Amino acid sequence: MSTIPPQDMPLTNAPASTSSNPIFQATQLPSSQPPQKSMTKAERRELQDRQRAAKQQQGTSIGGGGGSASGQKQAGGQRHKDLLSSSSKPPPKSSAPKNNRPRSESSALRPAADTGTGDDLSSSRKGLRIFSHFGLSELPTKQVKIAEGDLVHPAVARLALMFGEFKICGANARCIATLTAFKTVIQDYTTPPNTTLSRHLMSYLSPQITHLVVARPMSVTMGNAIRQLKLEISGSDIDLPEQDAKDALCQKIDNYIRDRIIIADQVIEDLAVKKIRDGDVILTYARSSIVEKILLHAHTLGKKFSVIIIDSRPLLEGKQLLRSLSSLPSPSPHSFQPGIQCTYALLPALPSLIQDVSTVLVGAHSLHANGSVYSRAGTAMVAMMAREHGVPVMVCCETYKFSESVVLDGFGKNELAPNKLSLPSPRSNLYPNLEVLNPLYDATPSSCVTAVCTEVGLIPPTSISSIPLALGKTTL
């Protein structure tokens, strides 16, 4: 390893040996000099003074021996030129390993897509990391992705396309459509030899369920219904003929739909209609199938009330509810106003309309053990605004939508609607990198809910976890 000369020394005319160098001799300690650790403070200071004097003598000798100021100035100028010339040359390549020094702040913040193609840049701009864990419904052409060797029934493939295109919306509608498709799958199923229906049918249904989940994330209602179906399949009698066993499973599916959805909705209608009086102004958000049934049932009973429908993008489901309520026939021959008097407004108009509301009726996607209500995005805002104005909020929901999980907000788990469902804007071409993100659900805290109307009665939101006990079982 070569010794780098100090900057004060010229880069040329270096002595051939260190023995003839007076500087080296002046700075070299005598052999009788004790080590610095055993030296006193005064001795170390004296040694430093001698070394400093040797360096000054070195500078005067380089300047020309006379020690004049002009000689020192010329030597300094020459050293400056040598440094400038050496800095302009490229540094030599050394065989030493590269220094693993971290990149500068500017290079660390530079996006990686700068060195890529335009497609990489556009793909890196799509989506935000905060929403990357949300389930995003893809186009129907991208949904048909199944494992090799797995067979997907045509009824399930058709249902997956309808889910992806949002032609079937709502927790009840999706659950009924899924169970109906599984009835067709079970009837077309044939048990392979050397096995039983109770064992092989569950493995046959697994790719069907996976295909539906690829099209759209599974709802709580679908999960509870599929869990109950698997329980019935595992408990089927192996001594029954195959067709009788399949008929028994289809009958149990029909009983589940009848008991947990249809009859449950009828009981909820009877309980909720009693809370509607003449002259009330009912506010609802988006479209809930059970809320629509309650309003239609109250209209058939001859009650006089009006409805305010609050809606928001991207689905704009309130338009379908408005069309259904306003096209009703008159309940009595003496009335000249057909249908229900309705007011349609978007979510930003809620503060100006909430002051005239008597009751808020909303549906739910699922109920959770901590009392929170998981529903269409915007329901939490409606419930909080109603609470601030002292308006009671009643959530209408079936008990089969109960989940033992705990939901605190809408960011832990959610679903994104495709951008094609949003209405096109004429100014969208001005912002080519702008991406529209539409979370479908939000979580309404239990403090903003007055009561939950179920088929087992009116339940306070703090007692939602007692729903399984009310049904006579520990779990659904």
Q: 400 near 260, Cβ under 8 Å? A: yes
Spatial separation of the C-alpha atoms in residues 308 and 343, rounded to whole Å: 5
Question: Two tokens at 330?
Answer: 């008159």
Spatial separation of the C-alpha atoms in residues 201 and 249, rounded to whole Å: 11
Q: 221 near 174, Cβ under 8 Å? A: yes
Spatial separation of the C-alpha atoms in residues 393 and 384, rounded to whole Å: 9
Spatial separation of the C-alpha atoms in residues 430 and 428, rounded to whole Å: 5
- Could you read off the pLDDT of 301-333 as tens digits, one per residue? 989 999 999 999 888 899 999 999 988 776 655
Question: Two tokens at 412?
Answer: 């832990």
Spatial separation of the C-alpha atoms in residues 451 and 459, rounded to whole Å: 6
Question: What is the reported pLDDT for 75?
Answer: 47
Spatial separation of the C-alpha atoms in residues 306 and 343, rounded to whole Å: 8
Identity of the amino acid at 171: A
Q: Name the nearest CA neighbour of 282 among 294, 271, 290.
A: 294
In terms of pTM, does the model score above 0.85? no
Question: What is the reported pLDDT for 150?
Answer: 60
Ordered per-residue pLDDT tens for the chain, 476 residues: 444 444 444 444 444 444 444 444 444 444 445 555 567 878 888 888 888 888 877 765 555 444 444 444 454 455 444 544 444 444 444 444 444 444 433 333 333 434 444 444 344 444 456 666 665 554 443 444 444 446 889 999 999 999 988 899 899 999 999 999 999 999 999 999 988 898 899 989 999 999 999 888 899 999 999 999 999 999 988 888 999 999 999 999 999 999 999 999 999 999 999 999 999 999 999 999 999 999 999 999 989 999 999 999 888 899 999 999 988 776 655 555 567 899 999 999 999 999 999 999 999 999 999 899 999 999 999 999 999 999 999 999 999 999 988 888 877 788 887 766 555 555 556 666 677 778 889 999 999 999 999 999 999 988 888 888 777 765 44
Question: What sections of 220-262 are H helices per DSSP?
Answer: 220-234, 242-257
Q: 202 near 234, Cβ under 8 Å? A: yes
Question: What is the reported pLDDT for 408?
Answer: 85
Question: What is the reported pLDDT for 99?
Answer: 44
Q: 377 near 440, Cβ under 8 Å? A: yes
Domains and CATH numbers, the chain: 135-265 (1.20.120.420), 274-470 (3.40.50.10470)
Question: What is the reported pLDDT for 91?
Answer: 47
Question: What is the reported pLDDT for 144?
Answer: 43
Q: Name the nearest CA neighbour of 250 among 185, 340, 153, 156.
A: 185
- Could you read off the pLDDT of 440-457 as tens digits, one per residue? 899 999 999 999 999 999
Q: 390 near 457, Cβ under 8 Å? A: no
End-to-end Cα, the chain, rounded Å = 78
